[in-house]
Amino acid sequence: MPPASHESWYATVLGGAHQAQGMMNFGLDQQFPEIERLTMQDADDIQAYVIAESWKAYRQSKGSPGATQ
Using CB under 6 A as the binding rule, whether residue 21 contacts ligand HEM is answered as yes
Phi and psi at residue 26, in whole multiples of 5°?
-80, -5
Query: Between 32 and 61, whose beta carbon lies closer to ligand HEM?
Result: 32
Distance in angstroms between the alpha carbons of the first and the last residue of the chain: 20
Q: Which of 10, 15, 16, 18 binds ligand HEM (CB under 6 A)?
A: 18
Q: Enumerate residues 6+ apart whose C-beta is below 8 A from 18.
A: 12
Q: Which of 25, 44, 46, 67 binds ligand HEM (CB under 6 A)?
A: 46
Query: Between 46 and 67, whose beta carbon lies closer to ligand HEM?
Result: 46
